Structure 1
Amino acid sequence: MNDRPSEIVKFDNVGLRYGTDPEVLSDLSFTLFPGSFYFLTGASGAGKTSLLKLLYLAQRPSRGAIRMFGNDMITLPRERLPDFRRRLGVVFQDFRLVQHLSAFDNVALPLRLAGASETKVIKAVSDMLDWVGLSHRAQAIPATMSGGEQQRVAIARAVIARPQMLIADEPTGNVDPEMALKLLRLFEALNNRVGTTVVVATHDVHLLKKVPDSLIMRLNKGRLSDPTGALRFPPRPDNAGRGGR
């Protein structure tokens, strides 16, 4: 029996401004569905990073309503935010690795915070580092790693706990095309096998056709273009999470 919500995120007429500046996001109304894969694209300055901040709960909107996991995020007490953030995996453009921890310990953080046994941590992290090609760098600290290596550590950390929603801001910007495709396949596997909703912000138009059944969200000057209506209705009749296939 499937008890997953029919929608994982719902924006209703959302706007965002910083201070007294003009809105950087305006009139955003869309729904993201469990188990779907979305690309967020648009020109530099279109508002992609600002929209991602709303999705990973780092920013509250200036107006409008946001529901996530069936809860009103506008009225949610701040002390409850950490519980919801643990359901998210986030890949930041600037990596945000813990500088005094090794690659292994950075990736292990979400599992250890969740109380996983050390036996499980060692197996899961070792497998993940092998997948992203960093087994030989497990004990390296971020300062000794290249930008591409740090990016792969950040991605491994974001996906290790199999989050309900993965949000990635330009996740392939610091790796070569071969590794970019491999990382995209990692996101796709998480989406297919676990049912994680995936949102990938990218300016790389070549990635947009690499994932079958993915949907494209286009931002233009802070407004969302959705001519097909795919962001308001389930993209597939059986969409209850692709992990069930």
Structure 2
Amino acid sequence: MVRFENVGLRYGTEREVLSDISFQLHRGRFYFLTGPSGAGKTSLLRLLYLAQSPSRGEMTLFGEDAANLPRAARPALRRRIGVVFQDFRLVPHLTVYDNIALPLRLGGVSEEEMTGPVDDMIDWVGLSASRNARPETLSGGEQQRVAIARAVITRPDLLVADEPTGNVDPDMAVWLLRLFGAMNRLGTTVVLATHDMTLMGRMKDASVMRLERGRLTDPTGALRNPPQSWTPSEENGEPW
């Protein structure tokens, strides 16, 4: 589903922040991206969700040559990708409902068609009581749940998450991981950047890619294609 071959990335005239990155992501699998601060995790994710183009190398997403994709063709490809940012990036003047509904509205879905799915998603992430609240009134964990719901409301083929548990307590981190696991079980390929080894240990069969100074130290982590398992016994309902 995703293939990088000798990809490099530099900003301006500075040295490369990513060098000779090669890996494959298989459909319906769960991947952790880890490494120390400054290793290039966010830059690699930006390539994955098409916020950045590589400086060199081959990059294929969903069978398309994403490295040389015309600007006009990018929105259609981006609609197949959900993104969860560490800083949430919620629209402050919109309610929980409207933040989650935003991708559907941008995609031309009618208000009548979206009400049921959005309400189901709000219930799924445990925010029914905050349906009409604005982000500033929510806790960090609640804001992150809104961000996740917004990212997955369109059932993306690929879900990219940049340190989504970095600003929440350990219990909330596990709860959020369950949401990602549920989405993965529905067929979405998940790439989750984290440095939390305890969190990674909860997904026993997930593949792990490790970045060090802009290079993958274990590129085979993304080439493995193991069966998936989910270790916590609790299961969340799914809104589809």
With normalisation by structure 2, the TM-score equals 0.89
- The answer to whether the Cα contact below 8 Å between 2:95 and 2:131 also exists between their aligned partners in 1 is yes
Do the aligned partners of 2:21 and 2:216 also contact (CA within 8 Å) in 1? yes
Matched, 1:82 2:75: yes
Question: CA offsets per residue over residues 146-196 of structure 1, 9 Å max, x none?
Answer: 322221111110111110000000111222222221221111111112x11
Letter of the structure 2 residue corresponding to residue 89 of structure 1: G
Task: Give the counterpart letter for 2:214 in structure 1.
Answer: G
Partner of 2:215: 223
Query: Which residue number in structure 2 is paired with residue 66 of structure 1?
Result: 59
Change (3 A) 1:111 1:212: farther
Structure 1 residues 176, 123: CA separation in 2 closer, same or farther (over 3 Å shift)? Answer: farther
What are the equivalent positions in structure 2 for 1:163-174 lying under 5 Å apart? 163-174=156-167
What do residues 53-102 of structure 1 show as CA deviations (whole Å, max 9, x unaligned)?
A: 00000001111110000010122110110000000000011211112211
Structure 2, gaps ≥5 residues long: 228-240
Stretches of structure 1 that go unaligned for 5 or more consecutive residues are 1-7, 237-245
Distance in structure 2 (CA, Å) of the matches to 1:122 and 1:133? 17
Matched, 1:211 2:203: yes
Classify the secondary structure of the residue corresponding to 2:114: helix
Mapped partners of 1:86, 1:56: distance in 2:
10
> Which residue identity does 1:199 align to in structure 2?
V
SS of residue paired to 2:68 = coil
TM-score by length of 1: 0.87
1:93-172 to 2 correspondence within 5 Å?
A: 93-172=86-165
Distance 1:176 1:119, change over 3 A: farther
Equivalent residue of 1:200, what SS? strand
Closer/same/farther in 2, CA of residues 129 and 220 from structure 1, 3 Å limit:
same
Shift of 1:127: 2.1
Q: How many residues align?
A: 227
Aligned match of 1:232: 223
Residue 135 of structure 1, CA deviation? 1.4
Distance in structure 1 (CA, Å) of the matches to 2:94 and 2:123: 18
8 Å contact kept, 2:207–2:224 = no
Paired residue for 1:27? 20
Please list every run of at least 4 consecutive aligned residues from structure 1 whose deviation after the TM superposition is greater than 4 angstroms.
none
Distance 1:171 1:192 in 2: 19
Alignment partners' CA distance in 1, 2:125 and 2:101: 14
Q: Quote how far apart the aligned CAs of 1:118 are.
A: 3.0
SS in 1 for 2:109: coil
Deviates more, 1:71-80 or 1:142-151: 142-151
When residues 114 and 176 of structure 1 are mapped into structure 2, their CA distance, relative to the original with a 3 A threshold, is same
Q: Work out the CA distance in 2 between the residues paired with 1:230 and 1:167.
A: 17
CA apart distance, 1:112: 2.5
| TM-align CA RMSD | 1.5
Report how far residue 15 of structure 1 moved. 0.7
Of the three residues 8, 26, 46, the one matched with 1:53 is 46
Q: In structure 2, how many angstroms separate the alpha carbons of the residues matched to 1:21 and 1:147?
A: 35
User: Paired residue for 2:238?
Assistant: none
> What residue in structure 1 maps to residue 175 of structure 2?
182
Inter-partner Cα distance in structure 1 for 2:105 and 2:202 = 33
Q: C-alpha deviations, 1:200-229, integer Å up to 9, x for none?
A: 0011111112124210000011100226x2
